[in-house]
Structure 1
């Protein structure tokens, strides 16, 4: 019994994210309740622009809205089909989950001409 309790404590400690850490995540985990303010790293495909610096992103687990300041893309909107990798902060607003993007990198279908380019640093 002591081994089970000890193992549970170790698993809980390993799953805890300290402030400032960036965790690999996906849309399903965020929509199921990753805490607001958590820094996440994700990748996926832009499905569509939602206007006002917002995009719908599809990853391997579903879809999520991301908010992307125009200055991160040099004022060029991302096109549907663009594959991106990014870090950002989870926000929960009016019952929906959003990731506010801090840094983004295009993987494929970039706004530029190369297949891999840094959009922001």
Structure 2
């Protein structure tokens, strides 16, 4: 009976993990090879736009390239210094690791979206709210 219960718990845990849980991550984990398709939550600062909806993002562990569709920013590019928290999917493309942003959780600073209001902001300048 104990084996049956343990097996049921393990199968349930595996199913939950396979159901697409979003994990809190950082640039180092992504660069070190998180599996392609892994859903991640990151936060950091835009270092520079790379063109064609790509940006270099810096967090506490390093830097990672992100792909951020213009429709998520109302068609306005983000500027260096913009604080960003988001969820996305890890993609390994041509030997480099990229996070394809699915949803912006918060955005603040650096005139990030011109005069348009940010989706979510913090009352504390220079921080990203969750």
Say whether the fold is shared (TM-score over 0.5). Answer: yes
Q: Does the 8 Å CA contact 2:76/2:114 hold for their aligned counterparts?
A: no
Structure 1 gap segments, 5+ residues each: 1-9
Structure 2 gap segments, 5+ residues each: 1-9, 121-130
Q: Does the 8 Å CA contact 1:85/1:107 hold for their aligned counterparts?
A: no
For 1:19 and 1:91, locate their aligned partners in 2 and report how far apart those are by CA, in whole Å. Answer: 18
SS in structure 2 at match of 1:30 = helix
For 1:64 and 1:78, locate their aligned partners in 2 and report how far apart those are by CA, in whole Å. Answer: 16
1:39 Cα shift? 0.3
- Structure 1 segment 3-82 matched on structure 2, within 5 A: 17-82=17-82
- TM-score of the two chains, using structure 1 as the length reference: 0.78
The aligned residue for residue 109 of structure 2 is: 108
For 1:62 and 1:86, locate their aligned partners in 2 and report how far apart those are by CA, in whole Å. Answer: 17
Q: Does the 8 Å CA contact 2:55/2:68 hold for their aligned counterparts?
A: yes
SS in structure 1 at match of 2:72 = helix
Could you tell which deviates more after superposition, 46-55 or 16-25? Answer: 16-25
1:94 Cα shift? 0.9
Larger radius of gyration: 2
Comparing both structures, which one devotes a greater share of its residues to strand? 1
Partner deviation per Cα, 1:53-100 (whole Å, 9 max, x = no partner): 000000000000000100000000000000000000000011100000
Structure 1 consecutive aligned stretches of length 4 or more whose deviation exceeds 3 Å: 107-110
